[in-house]
Amino acid sequence: MSHLIHRPRRLRRTPALRALVRETRLAREDLILPLFACPGQNVRREIGSMPGVHNLSVDEIAKEAAAAYDLGVSGVILFGLPETKDEAASGAYADKGIVQQAVRAIRHSVPEMIVINDTCLCEYTSHGHCGVVRDNEVLNEESLELLARTAVSQAEAGADIVAPSAMMDGQVGAIREALDDAGFENVAIMSYAVKFASAFYGPFREAADSAPAFGDRRAYQMDSANAREAIREAELDYSEGADILMVKPATVYLDILKTVRDRFDLPLAAYHVSGEYSTIKAAAQKGWIDEQRVMMETLTSIRRAGADIILTYYAREAIKALRNRGQ
């Protein structure tokens, strides 16, 4: 009989032993739930390609946030579907804009909730691009001005954190300066530093009604083949004053997450995006996979690769699963 000294199976024998040597843990505090605010009253409209996710009117979003908080969710990120859209994205920085109303309502219903605002223009522009368009081109500096205005109006409404996601060059610096000038030096910036042009955003564009009317976002979001460029993007946002860096999407970019983790000491977020959520949901609805186990395995892999914070439509379900395990 062979004499084995090393038997890794010794520590896999029981649930307690496995828990004792587990290297990565998910915690409810790591999870941020995205919510979508829309006009109207008593509106709760499920998104076809994202079962369990809804467009919510302001009254409903306040209730949804309160219920999520009671369940253990400590932070939300808000997106808005404005009544009307225009070339200047005026709904993005209107004092009574849809997202500004949603922030105020959540601040009122759950004062302890961490409120993050996605800072972008694509949900508010008539053409669906993330910036100002001229001659079919998205202009950088002109867009910065509107993004900065948007961030300030989100801060005025009560956001704790703004999260610029337009992938315009210099957006973190422009927003930091505008926030400071307006007296919001304590509002933090979670920058979508490494955001790839991804087909995994498909269902979100249904949820936020933000698909570009022409072309795509490849002239500003990153090419999915690039890893060195991700470091450069993270470096720029770090030097412009980002407080938290983000990589997005998450699961097909775990290598990027790991690299950014190893190179930067800022808190690191990963966005488990709409298409990542919907693919699990769809397979689960067909009965092909065990949804809860695939969800937990996926979120754990994102933590293992180095994310401190995970933005996920699964936040509530993951917290329930953690609770059932007694964590």
Binding track, positions 205-244, relative to ligand PBG; x by CB under 6 A: x-----------x---------------------------
Task: Please say whether the beta carbons of 21 and 11 come within 8 A.
Answer: yes
The one-letter amino acid code at 222 reads: M
Q: Which of 36, 196, 204, 220 binds ligand PBG (CB under 6 A)?
A: 204
- Member of 47, 65, 73, 122 binding ligand PBG (CB under 6 A): 122
Q: Is 298 in the site for ligand PBG (CB under 6 A)?
A: no
Catalytic residue, chosen from 63, 96, 248, 258, is 248
Q: Does 165 bind ligand PBG (CB under 6 A)?
A: yes
Q: List, in order, residues 6 or more apart from 118 with CB less than 8 Å away.
A: 77, 78, 79, 163, 165
Known catalytic residue at 281 = no
Task: Give Cα separations from 78 to 101, 103, 202 (angstroms).
Answer: 11, 8, 18
Q: Is 273 in the site for ligand PBG (CB under 6 A)?
A: yes
When asked if residue 36 is in the footprint of ligand PBG (CB under 6 A), the reply is no
Give the C-alpha separation, 300 to 298, whole Å: 5
Catalytic option among 85, 96, 195, 286? 195
The answer to whether 274 contacts ligand PBG (rule: CB under 6 A) is yes
Considering CB under 6 A, how many residues would be counted as binding ligand PBG? 11
Within the chain, what is the greatest distance between any pair of CA atoms? Answer: 77
Please confirm, yes or no, whether 63 is among the known catalytic residues: no
Helix (H) or strand (E) holding 309: strand 309-312
**DSSP class per residue in 22-69:** ------GGGEEEEEEEESSSS-EEEETTEEEEEEEEHHHHHHHHHHHH
Return the range that interacts with ligand PBG (CB under 6 A); candidates 51-59, 114-122, 136-144, 252-260: 114-122
120 in contact with ligand PBG (CB under 6 A): yes
Which residues carry out catalysis? 195, 248
What is the contact surface with ligand PBG in residues (CB under 6 A)?
118, 120, 122, 130, 165, 201, 204-205, 217, 273-274
